[in-house]
Structure 1
Amino acid sequence: MGKLLVLLAVLCLGQIITAERIVNCYWGTWANYRSGNGKFDASNIDPNLCTHLSYSFFGINDNGDIQSLDTWLDYDLGFINKAVSLKHQNPNLKVLAVVGGWNEGSVKYSAMAGDWNKRQNFINSALNLLRNNGFDGLDVDWEYPNQRGGNWNDRSNFVTLLRELKEAFAPYGYELGIAVGAGESIASSSYEIANIAQQVNFINVMTYDFALASDGQTGFNAPQWAIENSINYWINQGAPANKLVLGVGMYGRSFQLSDPSQNWPGAPCRGAGGAGAYTGEGGYLGYNEICQNNWHTVFDYNNAAPYAYSGDQWVSYDNVLSVQWKMDFALSKNLAGAMVWSLETDDYRGLCGESYPLLKTINRKLRW
């Protein structure tokens, strides 16, 4: 009887451990090059706020081999080693290598996925990357199959690539994740959803960037209705809810108003908003920049999201309240968890209050 009770206790503990919701923290390592309070490196990471740390990005060459995009930062400065060493502070942390991203494009990935030899190069180089550096898995962020220079065969080739990766990773226990476009227009064009879902441990759904300055009008980066529609679409197309990880943008999309007196959602804009002091990119502001701006702020309950404006500048973003609403939805759908893009744009220094307010809000809802 005693042994039976111990066995039951172990089984129950195992269920608790495996049922823990994911908080996947993407880290844009290039933030090391930002100035002042925008500079971010491994010392700024609290590994206990994440179940997964996704080290971004690696790329590939024309032969399909995975390669460093910044060898000085990755190896000379030891960023990879510093990332993996965070497991000393949180032994349960999984550190993943992320290959791809928007700037890598789609053409090389389309060619690799459609060629057996290049796929094997990719898989073998992935195994070497993980083994040699102590990573716990790989996240494939191909943006996007059958788009940006890809072709229709990318859809089935992506399934093949993921299946072969899964088989290669199995003996080592490596995790395999993917980052995917969220909305129906992207997802229906790029993915055989039910088939890719069978090959991976989890799917990071990039539920943001629903409005851009190129639309010609202001709009919400991540309105609640768009997030719900996207997740419901993925589930209806055969993705198990417990493999879907809801994306939260720790940044806002900014716009330059055509007329500063017209400062509401849907107002005409003449282009991207001005660059932030840290991120330095037009149309994009980190939450750590937005919270210090002291602009006039409105919470739009129809979209469950805030926006702020000052003069001809307008930005839509997420704050603590909107993140709470998103997490309530994730819980209601029994999703695998949440991911953040990205650590270095949360208010990690606590310049506006507590440190990591958005990430801590996610943890309070999903884990604590």
Structure 2
Amino acid sequence: MNKLIALLVVLGLSALVSGERIVNCYWGTWANYRSGNGKFDVSNIDANLCTHLSYSFFGINDNGEIQSLDTWLDYDLGFISQAVGLKSQNHNLKVLAVVGGWNEGSVKYSAMAGDWNRRQNFINSALNLLRNNGFDGLDLDWEYPNQRGGQWEDRANFVTLLRELREAFAPYGYELSIAVGAGESIASSSYEIANIAQQVNFINVMTYDFAMASDGQTGFNAPQWAIENSINYWLNNGAPADKLVLGIGTYGRSFQLTDASQNWPGAPCRGVGGAGPFTGEGGYLGYNEICVNNWQTVFDYNNAAPYAFSGDQWVSFDNVLSVQWKMDFALSKNLAGAMVWSLETDDFRGLCGESFPLLKTINRKLRW
């Protein structure tokens, strides 16, 4: 009997831990402008599939103040208020405002982090943004300190900025998270890992984009070995496992093959693959675009990742099986959870089966 009780206690604790894991859903709000089955707005979000909804993106001005990048969408259409309103469907949902992103660059953030007045402008505008709109916290996606026009001092200044944000947020209970470059080459240049980890609630590790057409050959967007190496690097350099959130890309990186008969990983490519009907960007296909194609698909077990090809088009992406493998790794390392970039490129309409297959796979592993 005692063994049975002990087993039930262990199972109960496991369920509790699993239930508390983070599933952070980034949402690129500009998908509202996509056509047909690619159009995505608040009504397409299943609030129960996320513990956090990360509303992307806000930017900053030259004075360091946070600003809307699309006031018509954010306020006139009411996307912010509608997003925050999803908490009525899931009372435990946290809605975060995301500042930064690739297109925002690094220069303004470097200047802001290194100047006391601009930091205060940033912090005060962050408080106003959260208070005035009902957000539960801020996610800072500076890509990347000490790179893309930044400077070495960014590393220490980033710690200072995060510490001041944490102190300003504390009286209100606001959460603070960051999105970070995953691999050692980026992380070693950009971050004082142990120091930033002390200042934030959790760290979204962008474990994807490990291969691009600019490499001159096809490659995997998120091979298992690269993900494991990246997470182990963060762990070994002072990031606690319970603050690391593993990134899953709900999209693929596509390539135009130099020779259509050479269609394997590492084959030469002449550039990015053709744009998809929804995302409209060369070299990038949403999972909702990939799954409807009748391309030949191969699952590469050495990389725990699929790829597909048709003619001179080649794409590497994640599917249900590869996401399962990644979640098993996250569980083996007792990570805080997982995040997706991003909601609107999963198969949210269920064109190929169930809706949100990748996000639901994450939930089945981590929460259900």
What's the TM-score, normalizing by structure 2?
A: 0.96
Q: Would you say the 8 A contact 2:100–2:143 is kept in 1?
A: yes
Give the structure 1 partner of residue 9 of structure 2: none
Give the structure 1 partner of residue 108 of structure 2: 108
Deviations 1:120-161 (A, max 9, x none): 000000000000000000000000000000000000000000
Give the structure 2 partner of residue 7 of structure 1: none
Give the structure 1 partner of residue 34 of structure 2: 34
The 5 Å alignment of 1:181-192 reads 181-192=181-192
* Residues in 2 aligned to 1:149 and 1:336: alpha-carbon distance in whole angstroms: 32
Give the structure 1 partner of residue 195 of structure 2: 195
Q: Would you say the 8 A contact 2:18–2:366 is kept in 1?
A: no
Give the structure 1 partner of residue 285 of structure 2: 285
SS of 1:75's equivalent in the other structure is helix
Q: Would you say the 8 A contact 2:18–2:367 is kept in 1?
A: no
**C-alpha displacement at 1:272, in angstroms?**
0.1
Q: Which amino acid aligns with 1:220?
A: F
Give the structure 2 partner of residue 330 of structure 1: 330
For structure 2, list consecutive stretches of 5 or more residues without a partner in the other structure. 1-11
Give the structure 2 partner of residue 54 of structure 1: 54
Q: Does 1:224 align with 2:224?
A: yes
* Residues in 2 aligned to 1:177 and 1:166: alpha-carbon distance in whole angstroms: 10
SS of 1:208's equivalent in the other structure is coil
Q: Which amino acid aligns with 2:119?
A: R
* Residues in 1 aligned to 2:359 and 2:206: alpha-carbon distance in whole angstroms: 16
Give the structure 1 partner of residue 73 of structure 2: 73
Q: Which amino acid aligns with 1:147?
A: Q
| Structure 2 CA distance for partners of 1:18 and 1:208, relative to 1, 3 Å | closer
* Residues in 2 aligned to 1:288 and 1:128: alpha-carbon distance in whole angstroms: 36
What's the % identity of the aligned pairs? 89
**C-alpha displacement at 1:346, in angstroms?**
0.2
The 5 Å alignment of 1:20-31 reads 20-31=20-31
* Residues in 2 aligned to 1:36 and 1:19: alpha-carbon distance in whole angstroms: 35
Give the structure 1 partner of residue 3 of structure 2: none
Q: Which amino acid aligns with 1:128?
A: N
Give the structure 2 partner of residue 247 of structure 1: 247
Give the structure 2 partner of residue 357 of structure 1: 357
Deviations 1:18-55 (A, max 9, x none): 97000000000000000000000000000000000000
Deviations 1:62-112 (A, max 9, x none): 000000000000000000001000000000000000000000000000000
Give the structure 1 partner of residue 146 of structure 2: 146
For structure 1, list consecutive stretches of 5 or more residues without a partner in the other structure. 1-11
The 5 Å alignment of 1:316-327 reads 316-327=316-327
Q: Which amino acid aligns with 1:92?
A: N
Q: Would you say the 8 A contact 2:19–2:366 is kept in 1?
A: no
Q: Which amino acid aligns with 1:109?
A: Y
* Residues in 2 aligned to 1:355 and 1:18: alpha-carbon distance in whole angstroms: 23
* Residues in 1 aligned to 2:349 and 2:16: alpha-carbon distance in whole angstroms: 32
* Residues in 2 aligned to 1:358 and 1:186: alpha-carbon distance in whole angstroms: 27
**C-alpha displacement at 1:16, in angstroms?**
3.7
Give the structure 1 partner of residue 98 of structure 2: 98
What's the TM-score, normalizing by structure 1?
A: 0.96
Give the structure 1 partner of residue 4 of structure 2: none
| Structure 2 CA distance for partners of 1:18 and 1:310, relative to 1, 3 Å | closer
Runs of 4+ in structure 1 off by over 2 angstroms are 15-19
RMSD: 1.3
* Residues in 2 aligned to 1:113 and 1:323: alpha-carbon distance in whole angstroms: 36
* Residues in 1 aligned to 2:197 and 2:256: alpha-carbon distance in whole angstroms: 39
* Residues in 1 aligned to 2:174 and 2:194: alpha-carbon distance in whole angstroms: 21
SS of 2:265's equivalent in the other structure is coil
Q: Would you say the 8 A contact 2:24–2:54 is kept in 1?
A: yes
SS of 1:199's equivalent in the other structure is coil
* Residues in 1 aligned to 2:157 and 2:16: alpha-carbon distance in whole angstroms: 36
Q: Does 1:128 align with 2:128?
A: yes
* Residues in 1 aligned to 2:279 and 2:292: alpha-carbon distance in whole angstroms: 14
